Structure 1
């Protein structure tokens, strides 16, 4: 597509966008009565308007049924998670049995590592991306210490080459092969939170399996953002939060994936009664017998209210056709934003902004990470003052994330206009 940096072009794209109708299903933050251009869905998705209605429905169930709500009403809480499983599975390329909504992201990462990080003899190391989100780093450090290892020895981080911002797939695979006899677990993010790089999950999984390692992914920035095929790619396990691209609200419930090939294996796990066989759960018998599938990793009761908020958003994904239509729009949106930023540099006469997210749309999701050469924080604050809300990452990165469910081409044109005006003022150009 030949892009144009003008309002008429942006409006024309929005008029021809079959997904534009979903924008009206979300609530936008305001300042002085004016909506923000919201480009921070990679950190917290917007609230679906239907969320209040869905949540009220569950509050009404609580009011009307009290404890009987576990088994009475239109959506008994005992089985409510199954309604979500139907809608979660298509977003991550899994079967319903392989996914389950439960807990929060890092809690689930720990629970899954209890099962899938099984160091033995010389095979005890974990290989991960350098510069992963701190929560993943802390989780892995504590897991290896818990097993009696030193993180400096047991964790292998793969960093970009000198002078580069993102990882090369061949370098990841080379590290896996080089340390193959010692690797127990390969654990990567699906998309790096800082650079926005979408890793080649299929190739990483194949390389890990070739050396005899288990392979898992943290999909915090990938689930609901890019098309992943967890089952077909033979990934062992994954987990994700739902409050970023899946709009389930702050601290929203997490999801897990366990490949069906592990259902009948005798894996260790930290057990709780909600993961016990469903048809015998209320017999309260000793001796844990897990429910079939990913549900067997549950521990505590269904978290009804967080699930209701997640359910509200998942129904919008279903109406939109799940991930493929969204992905097609996402590619065009990020490409248009890239064009706009390059135009800002041209108008400024200097390369004030450098995009560190991969140029190839196949290697990124709905995010561009932009290094500001000078006065980045002042410029970021200036954007907020002009009703453009992205997010800031130290020391010099502005992350902008156009979400296909609720962002428009006009949003991106106006963002470029604001960025140019703020840059000229802050840089005194």
Structure 2
């Protein structure tokens, strides 16, 4: 009889759910023991682990009036949003946090471990402890504008004092920075004003010297022109006098040849040659020749002209030129310019610059009382630790213990048949 093909048997490979549950029930004490051990381990962690707490502080912009006195100086301009941003930048600054840590080490007891420097200890703490709170940039809203800082810290660290102290320290640092900036700005403005005054003085001195030089140059030019005119006029007068002498010499020769000794006229000479009493009236528009003056008169005039030492009196223009030269010998305007004592009074805009300098020197702003931000939520003592969360840890420990117990029971159930089939 031929062999029939054997049907595969799955009895060993198929899982009987009822048998599995029965096996797990039989190992219930093992499962409960493992679950209890896991729960005890979780409880040990929950109650023995160092608790961590969390505090936070929220800052909001101050009213515009709080900064009005600072902005009223006319030197510094700070808006509430800028002040909040500056304080927020200080809170997020690693340098500010490290400085506060080094200045207040008593608040961080337990962080420093052997073999680690203060900076290394703070670096590890800062990396995981601080969190900045800010407005979501995707939802800008001026009504909800704020900056905050959150701190997660272990037991042994005074977190409330750390957060509030850091906020106060950052505000004080910003006040000192504003005070320094204010002093620098005032000093720079005063220096700029002094530079303007010095530049104005140099410009005024240069313009004054240029004006004096221009006046003196005009006087020198005018003197030269008058002296040239005076020389030309005197030369002309001399030439006139010499020409007059020559004309007198010529007239004297004619008068001697005619025998005219005394002044006469052509009509008188004609009447002298006649006899009798004659009365004649002569009207003649033509000039009478010089020789009719007679030899005696001509000689007298010639002698006077020859003995004359100067012809200036014969021309009024000479006196006028000498008068102008005398006035030009000293320029009173130049003299007044050179005798000015307080020349700053003549500087343009000097009064305005001095007024501004006086206002800058009169700024006595106390930044110690300046409020940069409004503390909307100061850090308060936490009511409970944020970790470990004991209930959650115990629950997770119990669930994990049960799962581990079931897994061990299943593993034992799978290994039993193999051990039984071994020879």
TM interval, shorter chain, is under 0.3
Q: Choose between structure 1 and 2: higher strand proportion.
A: 1
Q: Structure 2 length normalisation: TM-score?
A: 0.17
Q: Structure 1 length normalisation: TM-score?
A: 0.17
Structure number with greater Rg is 2
